[in-house]
Amino acid sequence: MRTVKLPDGETVQALGLGTWHMGERGSEHDREVNALKAGMDLGMTLIDTAEMYGEGGAEEVVGDAIQGRRDNVFIVSKVYPHNASRRGAIAACERSLKRMRIETIDLYLLHWRGGVPLSETVEAFEQLKSEGKIRHWGVSNLDAGDMNELHNVESGNNCATNQVLYHLGERGIEWDLLPDCAAAKIPVMAYSPLGQGAILFEPALQQIGDKHGATPAAVAIAWVMRHEHVIAIPKSSDAERVRQNAAASDLKLDAEDLALLEDVFPPPNGPSRLAIL
Protein backbone atom coordinates (compact mmCIF):
# COMPACT_ATOMS: atom_id res chain seq x y z
CA MET A 1 0.00 0.00 0.00
CA ARG A 2 1.33 3.43 -0.98
CA THR A 3 2.64 5.77 1.70
CA VAL A 4 2.92 9.53 2.11
CA LYS A 5 5.76 11.36 3.85
CA LEU A 6 5.13 13.75 6.70
CA PRO A 7 7.39 16.84 6.86
CA ASP A 8 9.83 15.12 9.25
CA GLY A 9 10.23 12.16 6.89
CA GLU A 10 7.99 9.68 8.71
CA THR A 11 5.75 7.74 6.34
CA VAL A 12 2.05 6.99 6.83
CA GLN A 13 -0.45 5.07 4.76
CA ALA A 14 -1.95 7.05 1.88
CA LEU A 15 -5.28 5.28 2.40
CA GLY A 16 -6.73 5.35 5.89
CA LEU A 17 -10.01 4.94 7.74
CA GLY A 18 -12.43 7.68 8.73
CA THR A 19 -14.78 7.47 11.71
CA TRP A 20 -17.18 10.40 11.29
CA HIS A 21 -20.66 9.40 12.58
CA MET A 22 -19.25 6.36 14.38
CA GLY A 23 -19.93 6.02 18.09
CA GLU A 24 -23.35 7.65 17.84
CA ARG A 25 -25.45 4.51 18.36
CA GLY A 26 -24.54 1.73 20.74
CA SER A 27 -26.28 -0.82 18.53
CA GLU A 28 -23.70 -0.13 15.79
CA HIS A 29 -20.64 -0.42 18.03
CA ASP A 30 -19.58 -3.96 17.16
CA ARG A 31 -20.20 -3.40 13.45
CA GLU A 32 -18.07 -0.25 13.50
CA VAL A 33 -15.26 -1.98 15.41
CA ASN A 34 -15.29 -4.86 12.92
CA ALA A 35 -15.15 -2.45 9.97
CA LEU A 36 -12.05 -0.77 11.39
CA LYS A 37 -10.44 -4.13 12.08
CA ALA A 38 -11.14 -5.23 8.50
CA GLY A 39 -9.43 -2.11 7.21
CA MET A 40 -6.41 -2.58 9.44
CA ASP A 41 -6.12 -6.18 8.26
CA LEU A 42 -5.86 -4.84 4.71
CA GLY A 43 -3.11 -2.36 5.60
CA MET A 44 -5.29 0.72 6.19
CA THR A 45 -3.53 1.43 9.45
CA LEU A 46 -4.12 5.19 9.63
CA ILE A 47 -7.32 5.89 11.57
CA ASP A 48 -8.82 9.36 11.76
CA THR A 49 -11.20 10.38 14.53
CA ALA A 50 -12.11 13.42 16.65
CA GLU A 51 -13.50 14.35 20.03
CA MET A 52 -16.48 15.79 18.12
CA TYR A 53 -17.46 12.48 16.50
CA GLY A 54 -20.21 11.04 18.64
CA GLU A 55 -18.98 13.39 21.40
CA GLY A 56 -16.14 11.00 22.10
CA GLY A 57 -18.03 7.88 21.04
CA ALA A 58 -15.96 7.40 17.88
CA GLU A 59 -12.76 7.53 19.90
CA GLU A 60 -14.14 4.76 22.11
CA VAL A 61 -14.86 2.70 18.99
CA VAL A 62 -11.28 3.27 17.86
CA GLY A 63 -10.01 2.28 21.30
CA ASP A 64 -11.79 -1.06 21.10
CA ALA A 65 -10.70 -1.69 17.49
CA ILE A 66 -6.98 -1.16 18.13
CA GLN A 67 -6.64 -3.26 21.26
CA GLY A 68 -3.66 -5.57 20.85
CA ARG A 69 -2.41 -3.80 17.74
CA ARG A 70 -1.60 -0.26 18.87
CA ASP A 71 2.01 -0.45 17.69
CA ASN A 72 0.86 -0.99 14.09
CA VAL A 73 -1.66 1.85 13.92
CA PHE A 74 -1.27 5.59 13.28
CA ILE A 75 -3.96 7.45 15.23
CA VAL A 76 -5.21 10.89 14.20
CA SER A 77 -7.62 12.84 16.39
CA LYS A 78 -8.88 16.40 16.50
CA VAL A 79 -9.68 19.01 19.12
CA TYR A 80 -12.75 21.26 19.07
CA PRO A 81 -11.90 24.94 18.36
CA HIS A 82 -13.43 26.00 21.66
CA ASN A 83 -11.10 23.56 23.44
CA ALA A 84 -7.99 24.69 21.57
CA SER A 85 -6.63 27.11 24.18
CA ARG A 86 -3.38 26.58 26.11
CA ARG A 87 -5.08 24.70 28.93
CA GLY A 88 -8.13 23.50 27.01
CA ALA A 89 -6.22 21.62 24.32
CA ILE A 90 -4.17 19.77 26.91
CA ALA A 91 -7.26 18.74 28.86
CA ALA A 92 -9.07 17.71 25.66
CA CYS A 93 -6.11 15.62 24.52
CA GLU A 94 -5.98 13.84 27.86
CA ARG A 95 -9.69 12.99 27.55
CA SER A 96 -9.12 11.61 24.05
CA LEU A 97 -6.20 9.50 25.26
CA LYS A 98 -8.35 8.09 28.02
CA ARG A 99 -11.22 7.24 25.66
CA MET A 100 -8.90 5.42 23.26
CA ARG A 101 -6.86 3.86 26.09
CA ILE A 102 -3.56 4.91 24.57
CA GLU A 103 -0.61 6.92 25.83
CA THR A 104 0.11 8.98 22.71
CA ILE A 105 -1.85 10.34 19.76
CA ASP A 106 0.25 10.15 16.62
CA LEU A 107 -1.24 13.25 14.97
CA TYR A 108 -3.42 15.82 16.75
CA LEU A 109 -5.32 18.38 14.71
CA LEU A 110 -7.18 21.63 15.29
CA HIS A 111 -10.59 20.61 13.89
CA TRP A 112 -11.36 24.02 12.45
CA ARG A 113 -10.43 27.56 13.27
CA GLY A 114 -12.34 29.27 16.07
CA GLY A 115 -11.82 32.21 18.38
CA VAL A 116 -8.59 31.00 19.98
CA PRO A 117 -5.50 32.55 18.32
CA LEU A 118 -3.47 30.09 16.27
CA SER A 119 -0.40 31.02 18.29
CA GLU A 120 -2.06 29.83 21.50
CA THR A 121 -3.17 26.53 19.96
CA VAL A 122 0.30 25.90 18.55
CA GLU A 123 1.81 26.61 21.96
CA ALA A 124 -0.47 23.99 23.51
CA PHE A 125 0.33 21.48 20.77
CA GLU A 126 4.05 22.01 21.24
CA GLN A 127 3.65 21.41 24.98
CA LEU A 128 1.73 18.21 24.29
CA LYS A 129 4.58 17.09 22.03
CA SER A 130 7.19 17.83 24.69
CA GLU A 131 5.17 15.81 27.20
CA GLY A 132 4.91 12.85 24.83
CA LYS A 133 1.12 12.99 24.61
CA ILE A 134 1.19 13.62 20.86
CA ARG A 135 3.91 13.01 18.26
CA HIS A 136 2.82 15.40 15.53
CA TRP A 137 0.24 18.15 15.22
CA GLY A 138 -1.62 19.68 12.32
CA VAL A 139 -4.78 21.50 11.32
CA SER A 140 -8.06 20.88 9.57
CA ASN A 141 -10.31 23.11 7.46
CA LEU A 142 -7.76 25.91 7.13
CA ASP A 143 -7.66 27.77 3.82
CA ALA A 144 -4.59 29.14 2.05
CA GLY A 145 -4.70 32.42 3.94
CA ASP A 146 -4.99 30.64 7.29
CA MET A 147 -2.02 28.46 6.39
CA ASN A 148 0.09 31.50 5.54
CA GLU A 149 -0.82 33.00 8.90
CA LEU A 150 0.05 29.73 10.65
CA HIS A 151 3.51 29.64 9.10
CA ASN A 152 4.22 33.08 10.59
CA VAL A 153 3.39 31.86 14.12
CA GLU A 154 6.24 30.66 16.31
CA SER A 155 6.67 26.91 15.68
CA GLY A 156 3.94 27.12 13.03
CA ASN A 157 6.21 25.40 10.54
CA ASN A 158 5.89 22.22 12.59
CA CYS A 159 2.43 21.68 11.10
CA ALA A 160 2.34 18.11 9.73
CA THR A 161 -0.88 18.17 7.67
CA ASN A 162 -4.02 20.05 6.71
CA GLN A 163 -7.17 17.94 6.61
CA VAL A 164 -9.76 19.35 4.20
CA LEU A 165 -12.77 18.37 2.13
CA TYR A 166 -11.64 17.04 -1.25
CA HIS A 167 -13.39 14.84 -3.78
CA LEU A 168 -14.33 14.81 -7.45
CA GLY A 169 -17.28 17.09 -6.87
CA GLU A 170 -15.33 19.55 -4.70
CA ARG A 171 -12.03 20.52 -6.29
CA GLY A 172 -11.63 24.08 -5.02
CA ILE A 173 -8.40 23.35 -3.15
CA GLU A 174 -6.65 22.61 -6.44
CA TRP A 175 -6.49 26.34 -7.21
CA ASP A 176 -4.18 27.36 -4.38
CA LEU A 177 -4.27 25.30 -1.18
CA LEU A 178 -3.22 21.98 -2.71
CA PRO A 179 -0.21 23.34 -4.62
CA ASP A 180 0.77 25.55 -1.68
CA CYS A 181 0.82 22.55 0.66
CA ALA A 182 2.79 20.52 -1.88
CA ALA A 183 5.40 23.28 -2.12
CA ALA A 184 5.67 23.37 1.68
CA LYS A 185 5.86 19.54 1.79
CA ILE A 186 2.73 19.39 3.96
CA PRO A 187 0.47 16.45 3.09
CA VAL A 188 -3.21 17.12 2.54
CA MET A 189 -5.61 14.71 4.21
CA ALA A 190 -8.81 14.43 2.17
CA TYR A 191 -11.94 13.83 4.22
CA SER A 192 -15.21 12.67 2.61
CA PRO A 193 -13.39 11.58 -0.59
CA LEU A 194 -16.66 9.96 -1.70
CA GLY A 195 -18.61 13.21 -1.45
CA GLN A 196 -20.90 11.54 1.11
CA GLY A 197 -21.97 9.19 -1.70
CA ALA A 198 -23.60 11.70 -4.06
CA ILE A 199 -20.86 11.58 -6.70
CA LEU A 200 -21.00 7.79 -6.94
CA PHE A 201 -24.14 7.91 -9.10
CA GLU A 202 -22.20 9.52 -11.94
CA PRO A 203 -22.11 6.94 -14.79
CA ALA A 204 -18.47 7.74 -15.59
CA LEU A 205 -17.39 6.26 -12.25
CA GLN A 206 -19.26 3.04 -12.96
CA GLN A 207 -17.79 2.93 -16.48
CA ILE A 208 -14.23 3.29 -15.18
CA GLY A 209 -14.92 0.86 -12.36
CA ASP A 210 -16.16 -1.78 -14.78
CA LYS A 211 -13.01 -1.30 -16.85
CA HIS A 212 -10.75 -1.93 -13.86
CA GLY A 213 -12.91 -4.40 -11.95
CA ALA A 214 -13.45 -1.94 -9.12
CA THR A 215 -16.36 -0.15 -7.49
CA PRO A 216 -17.23 3.49 -8.28
CA ALA A 217 -16.13 4.29 -4.72
CA ALA A 218 -12.69 2.80 -5.30
CA VAL A 219 -12.37 4.87 -8.48
CA ALA A 220 -13.30 8.06 -6.62
CA ILE A 221 -10.77 7.33 -3.88
CA ALA A 222 -8.04 6.44 -6.37
CA TRP A 223 -8.65 9.77 -8.12
CA VAL A 224 -8.05 11.65 -4.86
CA MET A 225 -4.90 9.62 -4.24
CA ARG A 226 -3.43 10.42 -7.65
CA HIS A 227 -1.47 13.18 -5.89
CA GLU A 228 1.59 11.82 -4.11
CA HIS A 229 1.06 14.11 -1.11
CA VAL A 230 -2.66 13.39 -0.53
CA ILE A 231 -4.00 10.97 2.09
CA ALA A 232 -7.58 9.72 1.70
CA ILE A 233 -9.68 8.76 4.72
CA PRO A 234 -12.99 7.28 3.51
CA LYS A 235 -15.40 6.14 6.20
CA SER A 236 -17.56 3.04 6.18
CA SER A 237 -19.12 1.01 8.97
CA ASP A 238 -19.49 -1.97 6.63
CA ALA A 239 -16.53 -4.36 6.52
CA GLU A 240 -17.24 -5.44 2.94
CA ARG A 241 -17.31 -1.85 1.70
CA VAL A 242 -14.06 -1.21 3.52
CA ARG A 243 -12.55 -4.12 1.59
CA GLN A 244 -13.86 -2.67 -1.67
CA ASN A 245 -12.44 0.75 -0.80
CA ALA A 246 -9.05 -0.79 -0.04
CA ALA A 247 -8.72 -1.71 -3.72
CA ALA A 248 -8.22 2.00 -4.45
CA SER A 249 -4.67 1.74 -3.17
CA ASP A 250 -3.62 -0.40 -6.13
CA LEU A 251 -5.96 1.13 -8.72
CA LYS A 252 -4.03 3.03 -11.39
CA LEU A 253 -6.21 5.40 -13.37
CA ASP A 254 -4.88 5.91 -16.89
CA ALA A 255 -4.93 9.04 -19.03
CA GLU A 256 -8.24 8.07 -20.60
CA ASP A 257 -9.86 7.62 -17.18
CA LEU A 258 -8.55 10.94 -15.91
CA ALA A 259 -9.69 12.77 -19.04
CA LEU A 260 -13.21 11.38 -18.67
CA LEU A 261 -13.39 12.41 -15.02
CA GLU A 262 -11.96 15.83 -15.88
CA ASP A 263 -14.76 16.33 -18.37
CA VAL A 264 -17.49 15.31 -15.94
CA PHE A 265 -15.98 16.99 -12.88
CA PRO A 266 -14.09 20.06 -14.17
CA PRO A 267 -11.33 21.70 -12.13
CA PRO A 268 -11.75 25.18 -10.61
CA ASN A 269 -11.23 28.16 -12.89
CA GLY A 270 -10.48 30.57 -10.05
CA PRO A 271 -10.17 30.88 -6.28
CA SER A 272 -13.13 29.89 -4.12
CA ARG A 273 -14.07 29.78 -0.47
CA LEU A 274 -12.84 26.64 1.26
CA ALA A 275 -15.68 24.11 1.36
CA ILE A 276 -16.39 22.61 4.77
CA LEU A 277 -18.80 19.93 5.95
Active site residues: 53
Which residue type occupies 274?
A: L
Closest CA to 236 of 225, 224, 246: 246
pLDDT (mean) for 44-53: 98
Judge whether residue 242 has pLDDT over 90.
yes
Query: What percent of the chain stands above pLDDT 90?
Result: 99
Its pTM stands at: 0.97
Closest CA to 185 of 207, 165, 161, 163: 161
Q: What are residue 105's DSSP bridge partners?
A: 134
Are 60 and 27 a contacting pair, CB within 8 Å?
A: no
Rounded (10°) CA dihedral 37, 42, 46, 52: -40
Are 15 and 249 a contacting pair, CB within 8 Å?
A: yes
Structure confidence at residue 229 as a pLDDT band (50, 70, 90): very high
| pLDDT tens-digit map of 92-149 | 999 999 999 999 999 999 999 999 999 999 999 999 999 999 999 999 999 999 999 9
The pLDDT of residue 164 is 98
| pLDDT tens-digit map of 146-180 | 999 999 999 999 999 999 999 999 999 999 999 99
Question: Whole-angstrom Cα distance, residue 277 to residue 275?
Answer: 7
Rounded (10°) CA dihedral 19, 21, 22, 23: 130
Query: What percent of the chain stands above pLDDT 70?
Result: 100
Judge whether residue 1 has pLDDT over 90.
no
pLDDT (mean) for 70-85: 98
